[in-house]
Structure 1
Amino acid sequence: MRAAALYGTIGSLILTGLTGLPATPAHALDPGLAETRGVALAARQAAAKGIDFGTCPAVEGLNGSVECGTVSVPLDYAHPRGKHIRLTVSRARATEGGAGRQGAIVFNPGGPGGNGMFYPLLAGLPQWRNVADAYDLIGYAPRGVGRSAPLSCVDAAGFVKGPTLAPHHPSAAYKKRQLAKARAYARGCARKNGTAMRHFTSLNNARDLDVLRAALGERKLNFMGASYGTYFGALYAALFPTHVRRMVFDSIVNPDPRKIWYGNNLDQSAAFERRWADWRRWVAKHHAVYHLGRTAQEVLAAYEKASKRLEKQPAGGTVGPGQMQGAFLKAGYSDSHWARDARALSAYLRGDDKPLIALAAPDAGSARAAENENAVYTIVECNDAFWPRSWPVWDRDNSKLARKAPFETWSNAFMNLPCAFWQGPRQRPLDVKVARRSGLPPTLMLAAEKDAATPYKGALELQRRIAGSVLVTERGAGTHGIGGGPNACVNDYLEAYLLGGDLPARRTYCSPRPQPRATA
């Protein structure tokens, strides 16, 4: 489920046999006694060793206010004395020392595959100043991400390229090519990562979080997870409820085992269609500025006209329909992209392709990071859950959905299709349920009512499963990742909880932020 948060103001069928990984029997993604003991041992070792923070490597792109270090975690928690991998960690120290300091707070921005090393930079933003006074802000790259035992499935040099088509109505021949591509990608993951690949799971991400807590010298964890970070944060809450001090879930993945991950992707595609319609209505409302149509349908016709033109002659030789669709998909994550996208489309149809090229052209400089992120995303989600083995099931479900939600359905399906060819652990996801007597303190949940990447039903489902949780909803809004953003109401609740443990009523609502201004 692609759900990398655009956070705050910074900036996630086995048709033929697969060689390279031995087959394993299906089993539940449960805590496991050996793994539980392994986490406890690794945490004790990490607490004794701590983290030797120092100057951050230049490759991280962090300023001098941020320190970096590493923490060692077992590759396989069932064998904690076996192979270890090192996770990179970043820190900005609390600016208020002494009695005002409340410890460290760890952040994950989503994914799977999102790199949270940037998080300490938020200390410089007004919305985070009071939190940064009280807490060390801790970012990290989860296993497989960035420099944390990085995963890869294909040659990065060829990963970011264009032009490509946008599969709104894929032909049989196009589908056949995507099947072959997905099969090859799954083989590449197995070939490049070997048997170690099976240990890159959401459950192990939750276990790593407890080792990180111990390495930071924290008896209890303060954690804020956005998007996918809410899912393994929920796993952590279920596995280690008495280890939690404060926990925030922002833009929430539906944790229902029946939704992980195939069902969630279908729900996501349907939700993106609704946000795509919101953007088109907004553009139509500002026809006098963009001249793209007075109705949402006319704006769609303008977009499709541009897509057909790009199919015949890609902009700058690299921007085809696929690149434009990928760029405009970001409008579903945040309405801060709305005016930018409308300007680019309007200019392109008037004969100026420069804004569209700037917006959508493949960036060779980001190829390595993009390939790594996609590899982690694929490996974690494919390892986490059962996926349909039969291509006819995928074809049936996505064909049906695409009739009413064509914008994102097929590109989402084809991105996840390697999981249909997986021959890894094939686990059943943990059924997250945390009772009142578990020892978990009250938790805070944040969600936008029209979030496309993590549809709102997921927030309601997680609240139902975690006793004592409070849900703050931004009404009528669709931005993905709302904590620390421009909505003062949301931020007030977030700050009150993190600084004082104060929570509002079980279901609390904030008015939406104003819609973006139309700028030419």
Structure 2
Amino acid sequence: MRAVALYGTLGSLVLSALVAAPAGSADPATAEARGVEAAAQRAAAAPVSFGRCPEAESLPPGVQCATVDVPLDYARPTGPQIALTVSRSKATGKPAERQGALVYNPGGPGASSMFFPMVAGMPEWKRLAGAYDLVGYSPRGVARSAPLSCQDPAEFAKAPTQSPPDPSASFKRERIAQAKAYAEGCARNAKDALRFYTSINNARDLDVLRAALGERKLTFMGASYGTYFGAVYATLFPSHIRRMVFDSAVDPDPDQIWYRSNLEQSLAFERRWEDFRVWVAKHDDVYHLGTSADDVLESYEKVRDRVTREPAGGTVGPAQLQASFLKAGYYDDYWASRATALSQYLKGNPKPLVQQASPRPQSARDDENGNAVYTAVECNDAAWPRDFATWDRDNTALARVAPFETWDNVWMNLPCAYWPVPQQRPVDVRAAKGALPPTLILAAERDAATPYPGALELQRRLPGSVLITEKKAGTHGLAGGANACVNGYLEDYLLNGRTPVRRAACAPHPEPNPVSLDERAAGRPRHVPYAL
């Protein structure tokens, strides 16, 4: 699945011996299972010591930081270690009200949650912050947790770049060459460590973090990709879970991970792209971009054609334009600002579009790092088609009905076709009936990044899980957002352990205000799902 920051813009058939664990068992690979147990015991014996955060983390004084060591290779638990950076805000309530640590991961792969303790000051999180230490961290390879890089950040952020909806044979050859070079860069920089960036290792790291925090059982909330390795954790360590929230669930079916997930995602983004255009058309008195979704599309294509010929501000070409509007597929908080940027550009004022869509040099290093981890984890996790002909056939057909995101999603993930290390068989996520405590799944019915059928599949595979659906809405990442009904179910579960019997529905949150340019989503983590 494609992330908001895109590969190359700013925007296999080889299987390992890894097999899925039987429901309720520990890890399938005996050496790694013993390694996780040894690493967790070591972490519990020397609990994490929090102190002042390094300046590089840019966190306020109320947040504390620490590091937790995890093995690079769990088959060699005393071998090379990765120091995961961890952040925390202590529970603000009375000691008797404290329920332990709530660990959060925002997705990716490649996203950090070091910012998470800062939500303690927000009204939507006040009660949870009273009961829990809010804990964030950077997974292996991310940010300052032994950062992975595959490409010069300046090259990664180069702009303007092209994004043709119907790419020519020569353009495809160019992107194939770039994908091969990127995969080679990952191997050259990471060397033998490259194969250890996997979802199963992220789940193992989470168990070591649990032990280091002094928690006998884990309370965890994962969003987007965080739901996937959270589900892997639930499969491998069911007896270690206290409470678990899956916010915007990835489809855990091994046959979907990850190639087919991206096809489904591209199709879902087409539907969400239409939702945005319908909303813009409804407010034609504000934007003057057309009174129908087709009219708004024509306005968008006019802008795309113009920036193809003459990039806006010298930096916004069609790929940067598309990446910017992809964010509107994740969060409707962006709808008003994006519609305004289109409208103003067509009136002769390119400044809003340049401001919203231009790459930011100051974030290039973090963007490249996040993309490198994303690529390594997804390419390692599962078999990808090894011949471009398969990608070309599948996505040429898909682009006929879903042109908005399809080819950019291909270019994001194409390094996996040329990946230089053996790829694994995905874990068969599942739990035996009664093996898990109740878990909570949050899903928006029109979420494009993690389409709704994935939430249904996750609930099927985890007996006893409860699904909360925001109807007729498409926000990716619901916890602490604009829907009070969803937040109510989340609070009741995390504070009291209560859930509906099996499923519940919430009415959609209000549509965006067309005259407000408040991008509330702008400060959120990149909820990059899988090939997001």
Q: 1:25 to 1:432 in 2, by over 3 A?
A: closer
Match of 2:2 in 1: 2
1:378 partnered with 2:369: no
Structure 1: how far apart are the matches of 2:16 and 2:274?
Answer: 43
Contact 1:485 1:491 in 2 (8 A): yes
Contact 2:247 2:443 in 1 (8 A): yes
Q: How much does 1:519 deviate?
A: 1.0
Match of 1:103 in 2: 100
Match of 1:215 in 2: 212
Contact 1:27 1:426 in 2 (8 A): no
Structure 2: how far apart are the matches of 1:97 and 1:418?
Answer: 51
1:424 partnered with 2:421: yes
1:498 partnered with 2:489: no
| Superposition map of 1:41-120 within 5 A | 41-120=38-117
* Paired AA for residue 60 in structure 1: E
Contact 1:244 1:441 in 2 (8 A): yes
* Paired AA for residue 2 in structure 1: R
Equivalenced residues, count: 505
Contact 1:13 1:391 in 2 (8 A): no
* Paired AA for residue 457 in structure 2: E
Structure 2: how far apart are the matches of 1:261 and 1:329?
Answer: 20
What SS does structure 2 have at the residue aligned with 1:247?
Answer: strand
| Superposition map of 1:102-251 within 5 A | 102-251=99-248
| Superposition map of 1:505-520 within 5 A | 505-519=501-515
| 1:11-35 Cα deviation digits (max 9, x unpaired) | x979xxxxxxxx9856436531111
* Paired AA for residue 174 in structure 2: R
Q: How much does 1:3 deviate?
A: 5.4
Q: How much does 1:423 deviate?
A: 2.5
Q: Which runs of 5+ in 2 are unaligned?
A: 6-10, 22-27, 517-532
| 1:22-70 Cα deviation digits (max 9, x unpaired) | x985643653111111001000000111111111111111101100000
Aligned counterpart for 1:433 among listed residues 425, 430, 445 = 430
Match of 2:527 in 1: none
Contact 2:12 2:423 in 1 (8 A): no
Structure 1: how far apart are the matches of 2:156 and 2:385?
Answer: 26
Match of 1:367 in 2: 364
1:472 partnered with 2:468: yes
Q: How much does 1:505 deviate?
A: 2.6
| 1:225-244 Cα deviation digits (max 9, x unpaired) | 00000000000001000100
1:291 partnered with 2:282: no
Contact 2:4 2:327 in 1 (8 A): no
Structure 2: how far apart are the matches of 1:240 and 1:13?
Answer: 28
Normalized against structure 1, the TM-score is what?
0.95
Q: How much does 1:385 deviate?
A: 0.3
* Paired AA for residue 447 in structure 2: D
Aligned residues: CA RMSD: 1.5
Q: How much does 1:491 deviate?
A: 0.3
Match of 1:459 in 2: 455
Contact 2:210 2:216 in 1 (8 A): yes
Q: How much does 1:2 deviate?
A: 3.0
Contact 2:15 2:383 in 1 (8 A): no
What SS does structure 2 have at the residue aligned with 1:28?
Answer: coil
1:486 partnered with 2:477: no
Residues 250-259 or 57-66, more deviating: 57-66
| 1:105-159 Cα deviation digits (max 9, x unpaired) | 1000000001110000010100000000000000000000000011000111221
Identity of aligned residues (%): 63
What SS does structure 2 have at the residue aligned with 1:423?
Answer: coil
What SS does structure 2 have at the residue aligned with 1:376?
Answer: helix
| 1:400-457 Cα deviation digits (max 9, x unpaired) | 000000000000011100000012131110111111232x100000000000000000
Structure 2: how far apart are the matches of 1:467 and 1:493?
Answer: 19
Q: 1:335 to 1:467 in 2, by over 3 A?
A: same
Aligned counterpart for 2:305 among listed residues 305, 308, 318 = 308
Structure 1: how far apart are the matches of 2:460 and 2:36?
Answer: 28
1:38 partnered with 2:35: yes
Contact 2:12 2:382 in 1 (8 A): no
What SS does structure 2 have at the residue aligned with 1:428?
Answer: coil
Contact 2:341 2:353 in 1 (8 A): yes
Residues 280-289 or 25-34, more deviating: 25-34
* Paired AA for residue 19 in structure 2: A
| 1:160-192 Cα deviation digits (max 9, x unpaired) | 121111231111111110000001000000001
Q: 1:214 to 1:136 in 2, by over 3 A?
A: same
Structure 2: how far apart are the matches of 1:256 and 1:140?
Answer: 27
Match of 1:269 in 2: 266
